[in-house]
Amino acid sequence: MTYQTILYKETGSIADVILNRPEKRNALNDVMMKEIIAVFSEISTNKSMRVVVLSGAGSNFCSGMDLDYLQKISKYDLEQNKADSQNFKNMLLAIYGCSKPVIAKVSGYALAGGCGIATCCDMIIADETAKFGYPEVKIGFIPAIVMPFLLKRISETHAKDLMLTARVINADEALRMEMINAITTKDALDDKVNEFCTLFKNNSLYSISLTKELLRKISGVNYEYALEYASELNAETRMTEDFKQGIENFINKRKNK
């Protein structure tokens, strides 16, 4: 597909999705949101792709909603705003629900909806220039749709700090809050991301997909239901060729020691 606001490339089994509005700090608009939904839907069903790296062109990840777009939606009626909110929600779910592991590679600003996009990813690797924050309350808005994804990563105490003060934090503080997984230098960011890509590629893609599904389904549900659902997936996994081959390889390795 040809995209207006993102770049997409495949390097071996790695899918690179690059938010491509650098002159706007990769700010979101309706076109970009629809294109993100489309590309992640495609990647989820692409059997040759094993890992996704999501980044921003230029020196920023994503600064949130485009100012022109914010002015546009401020004039929407209720039904138009509901539809637009659904579009934003569907974008976040397309990333979060992707069957492949997704790494956010963050430089510069990841603010508001941009920070929400990062928290939807399975891992966030940031360099020392990264800045994270939720400034919505400064403009009379609320960080509503991004909130559930943030609360999956950090405590309510830290979430209140970020969302009620609207302050912007650096990568070191984001790591202390456990929002992100790792920090590196700007020059070493690609290498650090590739390290994690290699770890993912060495594992069973089917098992990763089921593990992601399990994490989505059992969070916040009844304990007995979670165990029952986990047992069903466990039994299903045992029937796969990946599992049978993995057990055989493990046993042979133990025998040869």
Tell me which H or E stretch contains 153: none
Q: How far is CA 9 from the centre of its chain?
A: 18
Exposed e or buried b for every residue in 200-231, given b needs 16+ CB within 10 A? beeebbeebebebebeeebeeeeeeeeeebee
- Residue 174 phi/psi, 5° resolution? -60, -35
| Per annotation, catalytic residue among 35, 79, 128, 136 | 136
Provide the token pair at 74.
């401020």
Residue 136 a catalytic site member: yes
Asked if residue 54 lies in contact with residue 105, where contact means CB atoms within 8 angstroms, the answer is yes
Instruction: Determine the residue type at 236.
Output: E
Residues with a known catalytic role: 136
